[in-house]
Amino acid sequence: MTLDIFEGVLWHPREIERESMRLVEEFLRPLRLSPGEKAVVGRIIHTSGDPDLAKQVRFHPRAVEAGVAALKRGAHVYTDVTMLGAGINSSRLSRWGGAVHCAVHSPAVVAEAKARGITRSAVAMERFGEKLNGQVVAIGNAPTALFVLLGMIRRGLRPALVVGMPVGFVGAARSKELLMQADVPYITIRGTRGGSPLAAATINALLYID
């Protein structure tokens, strides 16, 4: 294939990565964030291609510290959908003994969700239950899963970190506002935007923080 007609286009993977991160760094420069928070926001911008998202990311004061510490002591990551789990760097997570867990395709979860007329993600989060104590929970799709998790937190559940980034127009913004009021470390994106790729990018950023 002849490529010389695309003058000025970068083709080498390392050059593309280097230039992408240089541009992302320019967007991060004016933000008043800690180095760890900048690493997370940088990954979100890089993944989404949307610098405006930086203004919507919200951190609990201990979020980065708590998340990194949990992952490096072997915490597992529990997700609401398989797409989110697929985006997490599982090989790096496993270095410290962690693994990704998602139960939306469990036959028992599917059957219960159908019988109750609620989402599989909500049922799966309920069934994880006490297993979530001290672990990292990442929600990138279903507001119902985050609502269920928040109910468990009010009853005493204590995840190490909640990455709450459900997306959409029904319940997503409300669930994230409630997360920011909860007594738990969190990273979230205000409003209707979010999604599994951004939640996975957040976990990956934490995995690479020293």
Give the dihedral sign, CA 73/74/77/82: positive
| 46 is known as an active-site residue | yes
Coil, helix or strand at residue 208:
coil
Where residue 186 falls (left for φ over 0; alpha for ψ -120 to 50; beta otherwise) is: beta
Ordered alpha helix ranges (H), 29-87: 35-48, 63-72, 82-87
Give me the sheet containing 77-79, strands edge to edge: 57-59, 186-189, 161-164, 136-139, 77-79, 100-101
Number of H helices, E strands in the chain: 10, 6
Which listed residue (46, 60, 76, 101) is catalytic?
46
Which phi and psi (to 5°) does residue 164 adopt? -105, 100
* Contact yes or no for 71/137 (Cβ under 8 A): no
- Rounded-to-integer distance, Cα 207 and Cα 137, Å: 14
Give the dihedral sign, CA 122/98/207/82: negative
Q: What positions carry a catalytic annotation?
A: 46
